[in-house]
Structure 1
Amino acid sequence: MSVSRTVPFGETRTHVAFDHALVAADSHVRSPLDGWPGSECVVLISPAMGAGPRGPRFCQYLVHAKPGAQSRPAAAGVQRLVFVLGGALTVGGKPVSADGFAWLPPDCDTVCRCEEEATLLVIEKPYAALDDVEAPETIVGRVKDAPCEPFLGDPDAMLATLLPVDQAFDMAVNVFTYQPGATLPFVETHVMEHGLYMAAGQGVYRLGERWYPVRVGDAIWMAAYCPQWFVAMGKTPARYIYYKDVNRDPLSP
């Protein structure tokens, strides 16, 4: 006898708290976004999620693009990272396939064009400029070409760094891959906030004082100083893509 793995009517794993949120795929609502005409989008994380200084300061969303769809530039002063979860697109004429990505600097008019169906993870954040430091140029790359190292020496927890470790960048986007049973080595509590997307596998995430079963398709927001920890569970590796803010003085506006 087969067992249904869908949630019962009236139930969801989605939970939104003052310093974190889990947005499960069972609660997604698709809608159009002005920046992606011809596509259906799901806004996973945005400042609308929470008021005040503890609310998100960035936006993370899914784009379900149809053939022929293309993007408009991000809002003025906003940087954009596009990660291809499935399908393919071109960024300024350069092909980007699954597990590829593109980072677009603020006030960039480069167009993302989908010649076939594609599923994209997009992260946007207002760029915090530094005096005498120019914003970086567009980057197009692939996860397999990114620097990848065991996290704190654990070969069962591999961390790939997509963007250069450079003061010009005020955001980092990394891909974390865990073998079954691997964990973060301790409960992290830090000034950076996170946006996270489960790209493969499953596990349990501690957020604050709650423990959440998570699986592919789930999104997580973590505010600054939200205690966090993860363990990969199941028979296949768990993998997530995550954002954090970096390289800026916490007292700056």
Structure 2
Amino acid sequence: MQALQVFLLLSVTLSLVEVGYSDGGFCSAPSVLDSETSSKPMYWKVTNPTLSPSHLQDLPGFTRSVFKRDHALITPESHVFSPLPDWTNTLGAYLITPAMGSHFVMYLANMQENSRSGLPPNDVERFVFVVKGTVTLTNGYDFSNKLMVDSYAYLPPNFEHSLSGSESSTLVVFEQRYSALENHITEQIVGSTDKQPLLETPGEVFQLRKLLPASMPYDFNIHVSHNLLLD
């Protein structure tokens, strides 16, 4: 089975660079992406309301989101949050859904104080990645893990679990119906991006890590790229 390669679009500046501006046009405007980036929390760009040039940040209707036949990019200024079904004290913004032509769901979950997750539908596997705050993952055996920023968890289909938070936190959640193979079973995985080896990316300006095992039981993978911003 060929694994579905899903790229989790999370970026972080790894070094300070000098940004050059042209004499005119769109790129000449002051940008949010400047030297102050280095003082921001990790993955702040995922939850920041907008990354547009400063002179366009308050322009009604401005968006950089793109929806095409074979891909979609839903940028932060287009996120629409509403209560997530079966979750408590949590607002969600859907990024990708079957209604857009995909066979999986990806959404942001903003968990507040005393929040708790619901379970995915039957036979649906779940992957969560923490981009803000801390949550507690508890399975059906009362075994718990603290998931902090840059931590993630893979939850097999029909796996009893819950995610709870005592503070404001944000998760990226990926869910899809599991494609089962005879004699192959997935297991719960809890990890952190910085513990995963770097993949070779010759000539590229980003660092790439794969978060799930590249083995037959797992029918998709998640990659995280940490970009070096160049201009």
Which residue pairs with 1:30 in the alignment? 81
| Percent of aligned pairs with the same amino acid | 32
Distance 1:74 1:10 in 2: 33
Distance 2:209 2:75 in 1: 24
Q: Provide TM-score, normalisation by structure 1.
A: 0.65
Aligned positions of 1:176-191 closer than 5 A: 176-181=225-230
Structure 1 range deviating more: 69-78 or 156-165: 156-165
The answer as to whether partners of 2:56 and 2:62 remain within 8 angstroms in 1 is no
Shift of 1:155: 7.0
Which residue pairs with 1:160 in the alignment? 209
Structure 1 range deviating more: 117-126 or 35-44: 35-44
Distance 1:154 1:17 in 2: 28
Which residue pairs with 2:150 in the alignment? 99
- Which has more strand, going by share of residues? 1
Shift of 1:157: 2.9
The answer as to whether partners of 1:39 and 1:63 remain within 8 angstroms in 2 is yes
The answer as to whether partners of 2:96 and 2:105 remain within 8 angstroms in 1 is yes
Distance 2:203 2:71 in 1: 27
Q: Tell me, what secondary structure is at the counterpart of 2:222? A: strand
Counterpart check, 1:148 vs 2:191: no
- Which has more helix, going by share of residues? 2
Which residue pairs with 2:187 in the alignment? 137
Shift of 1:127: 0.5
- Give the residue type in structure 2 aligned to 1:176: S
- Give the residue type in structure 1 aligned to 2:113: P
Q: Deviations over 1:33-60 (max 9, x none)?
A: 11422101001100112xxxxx111000
Distance 1:177 1:110 in 2: 29
The answer as to whether partners of 1:147 and 1:162 remain within 8 angstroms in 2 is no
Q: Provide TM-score, normalisation by structure 2.
A: 0.71
Rg bigger for which structure? 2
Q: Which runs of 5+ in 1 are unaligned?
A: 50-54, 182-232, 234-253
Which residue pairs with 1:193 in the alignment? none
Q: Which runs of 5+ in 2 are unaligned?
A: 1-29, 31-53, 139-143
Distance 1:101 1:7 in 2: 34
Shift of 1:159: 1.3
Which residue pairs with 1:225 in the alignment? none
Looking at both structures, which has the greater relative contact order when contacts are Cα pairs under 8 Å and sequence separation is at least 6?
Answer: 2
- Give the residue type in structure 1 aligned to 2:60: F
Q: Deviations over 1:119-158 (max 9, x none)?
A: 1100001100001212x1111110011122232x347432
